[in-house]
Structure 1
């Protein structure tokens, strides 16, 4: 089966391409580096020619209000090109709780992407994942200095990208969900607690201070970024992962 992986050269996309290829599918990465521009539509027709499935893993270059325009334009162009090419299944990767945090521009943008996909002409699937283990380094850097990292006590349920890839591949090669699959890690942490675990594993002697006004996740209320009872939980535990990768 030919599957076009939009954003197929990124952190998740490159792993999805490799896993699909290993399973015997014709996985075609589509990105700026391969001549595909989602915002202008350039190269889309060629990338989608003969594809039965499109997996959209492209991400906005910014997390601010401009991300709304990125996802509106890219999703609209991709749906139109997919319909023209006869694509039978469009799948995207989104975020658990994405529709519960309107205070964040990026989350509103991803919620808009989901809405456009649901209302589009092609059978669809949405995989919503919790935060990535791999993003903890960036989260720590947002509100840190030489001695202190400030983090809110926001509950999160992070997971490894390898486990996200497994779910994306399973959904992409199956029948369209016509709905959402939530996926999450096996453990819930407070973000400040996870910061302390991370620094200890990396032998970093900075101190984590709980600050409920610090960083992107400070605006999140309650446990909306953790998975509900119907979510599929992965098996990779954070302490095991960071021991191998930290």
Structure 2
């Protein structure tokens, strides 16, 4: 089966491509560098010809509110428009758990807009909402950093390893379309500040993590359940302790 992975050279895309190829599928790792651009439309028709499944893992190069909204709306429209004549029967897109519960966050608002385009397209689809990746915990700490301290909300956090995300994306892509949402998360759930404190201690970062209910997360306020699944979710196999043993994010 031919599967096109948009953003197929990125953190999640490259792993997903490898998994699907190992399972015997004809996989196109589509990216602008390879001549497939969802913003300009370049190469889309050629890449999608004969594709049964499209996995959209494209990400905006800018996180500025207006730019990220324009990216996901333009990319989504172009990709979905190209899928219709190609006869794609399953559109899979990676989104974020809680994206519709944090309206102050411009990136989350853009992902909601992307989801709405998919839902209205008429193409059978599955939207995968994932919690934050463990690989980004260091960047989150830096974003909340204030000198020798890091201020973070005590709202619940349930990060998932990129390896698990990729495996689940591949699994969902080979299933029947849900025409709905599947949520995925890591196996550990704890207050945001506690998980980041564990990470910093493990990598030898001396900064103190301060519990601050008013701390913002990428511009949005974090409530108790803003960033975790509210109902049933598929859980990854790699917990934070194992991920830290496997990885050396710093130093």
TM (norm. structure 1) is 0.95
Question: How far off its partner does 1:217 sit?
Answer: 6.4
Asked if the contact 1:154/1:218 (under 8 Å) is kept, the reply is: no
1:229 counterpart residue number:
231
CA distance in 2, matches of 1:122, 1:179: 12
Mean CA deviation greater in 144-153 or 41-50: 144-153
Equivalence map 1:35-74=2 (5 Å):
35-65=35-65, 66-74=67-75
1:29 counterpart residue number:
29
For the residue of structure 2 that corresponds to 1:8, the secondary structure is coil
CA distance in 1, matches of 2:110, 2:232: 24
For the residue of structure 1 that corresponds to 2:36, the secondary structure is coil
Asked if the contact 2:105/2:220 (under 8 Å) is kept, the reply is: no
Asked if the contact 2:103/2:220 (under 8 Å) is kept, the reply is: no
Q: What do the CA deviations read for 1:12-47 (whole angstroms, capped 9, x no partner)?
A: 000000000010001101111111111111111111
Number of residue pairs matched by the alignment: 246
CA distance in 1, matches of 2:171, 2:18: 13
2:194 counterpart residue number:
193
CA distance in 2, matches of 1:87, 1:237: 35
Q: What do the CA deviations read for 1:82-118 (whole angstroms, capped 9, x no partner)?
A: 0121111111001111111111110010011111001
CA distance in 2, matches of 1:23, 1:68: 35
For the residue of structure 2 that corresponds to 1:100, the secondary structure is coil
2:109 counterpart residue number:
108
Question: How far off its partner does 1:239 sit?
Answer: 1.4
Gaps of 5+ in 1: none
1:2 counterpart residue number:
2
Asked if the contact 1:153/1:210 (under 8 Å) is kept, the reply is: yes
> Any runs of at least 4 consecutive aligned residues in structure 1 with deviations exceeding 4 A, and if so which?
none
Asked if the contact 2:48/2:82 (under 8 Å) is kept, the reply is: yes
Mean CA deviation greater in 3-12 or 182-191: 182-191
1:144 counterpart residue number:
145
Question: How far off its partner does 1:163 sit?
Answer: 1.0
CA distance in 2, matches of 1:166, 1:177: 18
Q: What do the CA deviations read for 1:174-232 (whole angstroms, capped 9, x no partner)?
A: 11111111111112121211121011111222211223324426512231211133111
Gaps of 5+ in 2: none
CA distance in 1, matches of 2:91, 2:216: 36
For the residue of structure 1 that corresponds to 2:127, the secondary structure is strand
TM (norm. structure 2) is 0.94
CA distance in 1, matches of 2:106, 2:220: 14
